[in-house]
Structure 1
């Protein structure tokens, strides 16, 4: 690594160091750096435990356990100046141990980690925020194969060879090379993804996926997506018999469907999860300030709207977010329990019709202002 001296127009060598001569330790230093900034690994991860030892009949500990943005578990093994011969075997063992962790297990593991760190937040809330999902019942964790990330200053040939073979056989593995440098008593850390090579990563993944598709015949089974499609199909059939509002809307694999209100940025929404059903008017015209002003103008008609609707509504200005909503809920029902469907569909369709009628005149008056 070189430092460019612009005044002298020359490249000055920066001294390459080993972790040992800098007196850095695996757990005390490298592990903590990763915990505090997962960009070292080239991606956004949520660390959910360190020195994890929650394996039956073994005292083994994996260095770091994380969740990626798809909800997959990531096993992270840190070594310093040398990867050692056994790091791949260790990582595979830990991945196999973690394959059986349930969503509830992962939540509990993460909650213990937060408690140990003196963090007063709730695991469910942090996981939802990290994954960008509103309700924890919609979160899917460890539903795909586990991933492995190995990090070291040097990787032995037997390690890189095995990692390449595993990658070719659909094991999601990544090797990150870290190199410390010293300049004027300042320590610099260079990171490089050596497996898979960054420029070829997308291509290699596509090839691996193609091979997998050719070898594996997917079994037909009802998934969360197909359950939602079935539910929305039945709801829309019922809704279209009562109203024209959702006439041109198709069933969706998502946990919501929406239609226009006739005004830009205002949509009527149906939302379902494993815990509740909800109807709402979603307000998002692009700018946060405009959305809040519009919500406030509608709110001045609150008494009239709720009187016409026949019940109290949930007025969510959502000051920290861009949009706002006016909602009505049915709690303790689940889209994944078909026995709840008749109650949910009746609630949502009849409530939406009353809801739209109660808001129609108000929106006309408000938008004119």
Structure 2
């Protein structure tokens, strides 16, 4: 069993290693970006990479507080679902419009999870990095052209 400080230190070491591994990879637009802290440029839409002691996930998260805009963002993703799935080269992501975050706020998400891995086990890090790398690069490729449809909603 790890202390909270040990868990924090191990997680920080993983994300630092991931960041160093991804640093030389340019975005689809040819720019240097922070892959582990991906910025979409659209308020209320983010891409999250998360790992704990049981799972890892890549999430498209909609947190827009304005209900109409929140719905419009989710519907825009639904309209672009074929393009998203074609770019990701997988169609088994979990789509949830009615969800709540840890603070009880309404969120929507599109998520892919990897079960049976732990960020606390260094031997799982290659599988985690592979899981995150391929999906965040493909999400970036998708977002490079898809973001304009979202900008038009603002």
**How far, CA to CA, are the matches of 2:46 and 2:68 in structure 1?**
18
Determine whether 1:314 maps to 2:102.
Answer: no
CA RMSD across the alignment: 2.5
Counterpart for residue 120 of structure 2: 336
In the alignment, what sits opposite 1:234?
A: 17
8 Å CA contact retained: 1:291, 1:322: no
TM-score (norm 1): 0.36
How far did 1:319 drift?
Answer: 4.6
Distance 1:319 1:290 in 2: 16
1:202 paired residue number:
none
Larger Cα Rg: Structure 1 or Structure 2? 1
Aligned to 2:33: 245
Q: Would the alpha carbon gap of residues 245 and 268 (structure 1) be closer, same or farther in structure 2, given more than 3 Å must change?
A: farther
Instruction: Compute the displacement of 1:311 (Å).
Output: 0.6
Question: What is the distance in 1 between the residues matched to 2:112 and 2:7?
Answer: 24
Q: 1:77 maps to which residue?
A: none
Structure 1: 5+ residue runs without aligned partners?
A: 1-101, 103-139, 145-221, 248-256
Given that 2:42 and 2:150 are in contact with CA atoms closer than 8 Å, whether structure 1 keeps it comes out as: no
1:180-191 pair list within 5 angstroms: none
How far the C-alpha of 1:232 sits from its partner, in A, is 0.5
- The aligned counterpart of 1:148 is none
SS at match of 1:346: helix
Residues paired across the two proteins, number: 143
Runs (4+) of structure 1 moved beyond 4 Å? none
Which residue does 2:144 correspond to in 1? 360
Secondary structure at the counterpart of residue 123 of structure 2: helix
Deviations 1:155-180, CA, capped at 9 Å, x for gaps? xxxxxxxxxxxxxxxxxxxxxxxxxx
Q: 1:327 to 1:360 in 2, by over 3 A?
A: farther
Give the Cα–Cα distance (whole angstroms) in 2 for the partners of residues 360 and 329 of structure 1: 23
Query: Which has the larger share of helix?
Result: 2
Give the whole-Å Cα distance in 1 for the aligned partners of 2:122 and 2:71.
37
Q: Is the 8 A contact 1:238 1:349 kept in 2?
A: no
3-state SS of the aligned residue for 2:60? strand
User: Within the alignment, does 1:276 sit opposite 2:46 as a pair?
Assistant: no
What displacement does 1:289 show?
A: 4.1
Q: Separation in 1 of the partners of 2:56 and 2:85?
A: 19
